Amino acid sequence: MLMTFGQTGMIHPSLAGMIEAIQAKMSRVALHFRFTANAVAFLTACLKTAIETSTHSVGIQPKALEKFNRVLIFDSSSWDIDPKLKPILPGSGGGASDANCKLQAGYEYKTGHLGFFAVTEGIKPDQAHSYCLSDSVKTGDLMLTDLGYFKLATFQKLADQGAFFLSRFSIGTTLRQAI
């Protein structure tokens, strides 16, 4: 857990920095070989548990939300990482970072549970995740997103399956009244 959250103060955490932080007697290479698929799965599960634990609510049920089965809030966070990771997690480049990591998350407001979780390259726009979001939303649910996830095809799919959505309106979108 220390390796997951303990390095948040470092701009570009390194294997050597992680070893120093955990005060272990091992080489950088030895730590590198411990980053297996199982280790990644374990650290991902730890991160998910830590986020759920730190954000868990006591089942807030405001009157305005009683109509909905679940209230799902989707958003992302991103941060610059060591430029050497550009082949794996490319950033926007130019004036921005060459390497960037983005965390996509879905939070169920009424129960406080994290339901959708993905780590992607920073160059991938939030809108590219819209198709995943509609798979997480069920009949009677309310999906809340920011403008980054605005995609009419996703909104149509949600409406067709009896779910609701709320997003900022994208300028340039034409509104029509259904007949």
If pLDDT is split at 50, 70 and 90, which confidence band does 6 have?
very low
Average pLDDT on 153-162 reads 93
Mind listing the pLDDT tens digit for each residue in 110-155?
A: 887 877 678 888 898 888 888 788 788 999 999 999 999 999 999 9
Gap between the Cα atoms of 77 and 127, Å rounded: 14
What pLDDT does residue 84 have? 87
Tokens of 164: 């609701």
Give the pLDDT band of residue 7 (cuts 50, 70, 90): very low
Q: Does the domain made of 59-166 have the CATH classification 3.30.420?
A: yes
pLDDT tier at 4 (50, 70, 90 boundaries)? Answer: very low
Condensed to tens digits (0 to 9), the pLDDT of residues 64-107 reads 889 999 999 999 988 888 888 889 889 887 777 889 988 888 88
DSSP string, 80-131: E--GGGTTTSB---TTS-SBEEEEEEEEETTTTEEEEEEEEETTS-GGGGHH
**pLDDT value of position 54:** 64
Question: Is a pLDDT exceeding 50 seen at residue 51?
Answer: yes
Most confident of 17-26, 57-66, 92-101: 92-101
Domain boundaries, the chain: 59-166
Of residues 8 and 140, the one with the higher pLDDT is 140
Contact indicator for 123, 85 with CB cutoff of 8 Å: no
